[in-house]
Structures are given as structure tokens and as C-alpha cells.
Chain A
């Protein structure tokens, strides 16, 4: 391997992971304490510094093998994990469900056992089924990083969003963050809700009732399940629900809009793209209700002209490209924190 030569000989070693970090997998951020989120943020700062060097490489994970296993299409997540792994000197192998033994009917468990047998230390996994990385983490020695599972979680997206917000606003405590769109089917929204609330932000989710998770459609709950046993409050942490975007945007400091899947119309959840854009498109006029200079975010890929106006997406308020850039540093931090603990 040549990574060591490529890195400047005087490169300072990346700081030892602080004690707050004890995780061997990253499955979601739902149980992250603020101190752990701080660890990721600080480690990301260090990684950003590495990426700013002439030769943006350190040998921190030399000898480690990272496998990305994607059962769903992805551009930015996959590319940023690969870049992140390589920048840390790890060997990175990319496997897609199409073109692998998955197409021959191999089960998920058999596939990941094979990858472990050939020496994977870290498995970065994207899967269309919620919970798939949990199944894998339960049955394998290798560390598992969830790169998106169905409608459930996308922890590295939440971490890079938090990092991006903090870069602009500093402490997020008390900041009003609005997430707009298809919350029900969005793993990005779900993970962001957990991490933003853990850091003390105020979170408002906004969308038509048909695109809100069952537990948040409170105006529809006529069924007396409310006092189940108190645990139902754990479905999602306490967010405000607002179906009117204008009202939701009042005083917002961060507005995150989500990709609208066009299949939702066939599912009978929305009348038309036109009506959706009329009610929920984030545009310059609506943003005037938010605080001046409020951040505009989108996890991508965008449908410009549907959930976001093209002008706003490329405006000065937009940090959408920065989200992508920060994605590499955040994923370096996560890989570093996770892979350091794996067996040689």
C-alpha cells in the first residue's frame, strides 16, 4: 500500500477518540447522548482539517477493509463513504445488490457472512428494508454502519446535517428547525428529529396528514390507544406538527425540505404534484417568513420545481452543496470512530 507515503510524514495523528465513544456499530442516532454527538462533531472538525491538506490522506485506518453494500441506488452517500474510507487509508470494496450474488437469490445473512469471511472490518450498508442493518449487526462480528434503511434511519445524513447547521449557527439549542415534506417515508427526517432534539433544537415537521407518520397524525386518532402504557410517546420524540407551511416557517432558522417520491400520487396520498408544489414548495416568497438568512437544506436528490424552487436551491441561503461536502468529513469521522475498535 502506498497511502503512508502519500500522507505527509509529519502529519499529526488524529486525536484518540474521547471516552464518550463506546459504540461498535452506527445504526441510528436515536439513542445518542449530546456528548456522543459532540464527539462526532469534533472528530469531523479534525477530518475537515485533513481534507484541507495538499494530500488529503492519513493512514489512520490502514489495513482495515471497508465494504459498502448497497441494496438501493445512491450517489452521494456511497461516493462519500468510499472517499472517506480511502482518505483514511482503508481498503474499500463496493458491492451492489445488482451484479452480485443477491441477484442469484442469496439471502442478506449469507451475503454479509461471505463479506465477513473475506475480511470486512466495517460493513457500510444501505437497504430498502427498515431494520436490515440491525439484523446484520446481531449476527456478525463486523462493525455495521447504517447508510440508510428503508423509511427508518439515515444516521450519517443526520450527523452531516447537524454539522452543517452548527457551522453556520453554532449551538443549535433553542433554534427553530422546520422539516417539510414526506415525513412518513423519510429516514432522513426521522434520524434528524432525534439528533436535533438531543442537541436542544425545536423541531417542527410540516406536510399533509397523508405524509405524516401514523403516530403524528394526532388529529386523526379517534381510536382510544392513546393511553397504551406510556411507551407510545417513544414513537418519535416530541416534535410540533404543522400542516400549514406558512405557519411552520414563522421564525425558522433552518428549513429542511425532503425529496417527494413521485410514486406517492399512485399511492393515493396526494392529489397531484402541482397541488403539492402549491402548498408545500419551499420558495423565496415563503422563506421570507423565516428569519433573515435562515438556512435552506435538502438531503438530495432534489426535484427542483416540486419541493424546492430552483432559485432558492442555488441561492445564498442554500447550504445544499455544503451538506454534500461535509458528508465526506462526517463519514470519515464515523468510519474512524467505528473502525478503530474493530479487531485486527
Chain B
């Protein structure tokens, strides 16, 4: 039996409020023991002194692009990026080509992840057939073969009646519905946040209200149906406030925020450094929902601290170079986020807050612990998924070194604090950056 001991690290396991120096033993791909002197006779030992040892991170929102968009990312490259970012579980979004709206497609993702993935992949399926927002996909069958949630992410479910049906039907299955909240009529082709930067740059703005109206609608529908709705990538102060009120009424709503919405603002699009004309029009900062204001970013961080927002999710959206090296209006939306998530999270949050938001937070938000016992924790019997973090490490973002095929990040050249020293998935070291 292969055993791996991680000794002398500072173990942070927010699920059990543990924050102490301890040893940890992984045997047979599962956590065997945590405590002083655990695993003294392990076949392999990692000296973790000076490092933080925590459950492998869980990302409930990543675009792995396979099938159909393999020039942007594959399950193989995306899961390697995940490992590099400290993630051992990644939920794959279904806006592939074709979209993941059938049992066969779910099985394809699971099979590919099994043979080529570096970490665990949990597939999310479409709400509607073909992801076109007209009729429900075969939700029960999708759930049965392993879909952990339903979403048409990238697009909202515009039809409120269909959204209500989706919530009622998914409620029967005990599977959450994730919505990308955007009133596309109101956002009207906006390519960035509507505010002073959009005015300055002459770009069409996407107003905060376009998100908030749909967040409010979805909460009303969750309240009416008693089903669980999960709000993807919250980006506005108004959304945080609407969700906070709903939670105080015990509505079954959960929410996530991306590392970039916590830390960056719409000013990332204009700030140019030495660019000619002094206006960057940085397509690498073009993302949907758009980067908003400092006021919104701070409201999101506050929401995460007070439990209004349950977790961080990367919305990892890798693109090929040509998708971003073009006019701002035609550039693709998205940031390649798996490999910078921890560094950004630590910019906005304390170490304990960040670890919670990357581990037990997302697991409980989608109820993943009902499928995989102990996921996101270091309890005995939990998956042998561990990340070793060097919280003080200072490093410079170099997109060309990303494992992801997507080098699209507005953070190139920026110094971040907090690095991943090693990632262990299923008891095996899948990334070693020491």
C-alpha cells in the first residue's frame, strides 16, 4: 500500500475549524490520519514545515472547452492548469461544442477526465437542450450519469417560465440550478461595465442592473419553488445585497464570486502603462460579467466574509491568442483564471477566509459532499486531495508558463503573494512547484 505523509505543516481545515501544526497521512488515495506523528512510517514523506496544508481546492465553475474547442483548452490541459493552481476538483461547464446536454456527452467528459485528466472532473450539464433556452434537457438522465448541477452558463435562462420549470424539476432531483444572471436585452451588447471607463473609451456598457434584475428574479423563483438556485459569478454590490436579504429569509440560494471580481475593476481595461495614446483597451480584461468598480469588488469581498457569498469559483475561461488579439468589440469574453486564483484570493482575503472559500465553501454550495464524502475537508476517509500553500511566496504572473492553453489574463507581469507549493490528488503528487 502506498502511503504519503505530509509532515510539519500548518494544517488549515476550515470545515472542522482546524488551524494547527500537524502531520497528515494519506493511504490508498484517502486521508488516513491527521495529528501529531501521523504517518511516521509512510513510504513517501513530504516535509511541509513552513507550508500551509489544506484540502485540495474545489472549483465549481471552469470552462474546459472539450469537446469542440480544443484549440482553447482540453480536459488534459485544463486539469493540469487546475493542479498548478492547487485545485483537485473542477466542475466543467457545459458550453462546449456541441453543448453537454445529453448522457453520452457527460460520459464523454467523465471518460476523458479519467484517462487524461490530472485531477477530478465533475461535469455540469445544460439546463436546456442545445443550450438555446427553449426546452429542458433530459435532466433526470443527466443527473443519473453524473451531472452535479445544471446551467446554461455563458447565457442566462431568459425565459422566466422555463427557469421556474427547471428549478421545480431539478428540485425533485436534488440538483442545483446555476444561473448566469444577465438580462441580455438590458445589457444590449455591452462589452464592459457601464461606467466612467466605458464612457471614456466609447465602448458599449453593460449596466449593473442587467445582472441584478435577474438575480432578483431567480431568487423569487427559488422562493416560490423551494428549489436551490446558485448564482454564478456575482459581480455587483446590488446583487450581494439582494442575495443577503434572500438568505435572511432562508431562501435556498447560494452564490459564488470570481477571484477577478474580488480584486480587479473596470479600470484594468483602460490602464495602459506605455501603450500609445494612453488607453489600453485591454481585451484580456474583457470578461462577462464585466469587471466593475472598487465599490462592487469590496461589496463582493464583504459578502464572502459574512457568508452572503458562499465561495470563490474561477470562471476559468481560456481562449486562443487570436480570440483576444483583435478589436475590443470582437474579442472573446473571459479570463484564464485557474493558475492565479489563489494569489488573487489572498489579495482580497485572509488566508483562513481564502482557504474556506476555495474548499468547503464551494463543496457545500453545490452539495458535492453528498456525492463524495469528505470532499473539501481533511477528515479521515476524505479523498486524498491536499494542497501545500506557501502563503508568503511572491511571484510574477507569466502567462507563457501557464499549463492552461489560455494565456489570456490581465495580470501578466503582476506580482502576487501566495503560491502553490504542491498539489496532491488521490494520494499522488500531480503538481510540484517546490
Contact = CB atoms under 8 A, between A and B. Distances in A.
Interface string A119-153: 00000000111111111011000001000011111
26 contacts: A24-B276, A27-B279, A28-B279, A30-B278, A31-B278, A107-B322, A129-B327, A130-B201, A130-B202, A130-B328, A131-B279, A134-B279, A135-B328, A150-B203, A152-B201, A153-B202, A214-B194, A214-B195, A214-B196, A214-B199, A214-B207, A216-B199, A223-B238, A224-B295, A231-B267, A235-B200
Contact of B203 (A127, A131, A135, A236): A131
Interface residues of B, number: 35
A39 B207 CA distance: 40
Interface in B318-355: 322, 325-330
B202 A134 contact: no
Contacts of B203: 130-131, 150-152
A30 B272 CA distance: 15
Contact of A27 (B205, B208, B276): B276
Contacts of A229: 294
A216 B196 CA distance: 9
Nearest to A235: B196
Given A31-B278, A236-B199, 4 more contacts: A152-B203, A214-B207, A215-B199, A223-B238
Interface in B206-251: 207-208, 237-238
B408 interface: no
Contact of A190 (B202, B204, B329): B202
Contact of A232 (B195, B202, B328): B195
Nearest to B277: A27
A134 B281 contact: yes
B196 A132 contact: no
A127 B328 CA distance: 12
Q: How large is the interface on A (under 10, 10 to 19, 20 to 34, 35 or more residues)?
A: 35 or more
A234 interface: yes
A187 B199 contact: no
B288 interface: no
Contacts of A31: 277-278
B293 interface: yes
A232 B326 contact: no
Nearest to A71: B327
Contacts of A235: 195-197, 199-200
A228 interface: yes
Contacts of B293: 225, 228
B89 interface: no
A137 B195 contact: no
B200 A236 contact: yes
B74 interface: no
B275 interface: yes
Contacts of B328: 129-132, 135
B294 A137 contact: no
Interface in A208-230: 213-216, 223-225, 228-229
B295 A228 contact: yes
Nearest to B275: A138
Given A135-B327, A190-B202, A234 B276 contact: no
Contacts of A187: 202
A187 B194 CA distance: 17
- List the 5 shortest-distance A-B pairs measured between CB atoms, nearest first: A152-B202, A131-B281, A235-B196, A129-B327, A27-B277
B314 interface: no
A192 to B, nearest CB: 13
A241 interface: no
A232 B196 contact: yes
A43 B278 CA distance: 25
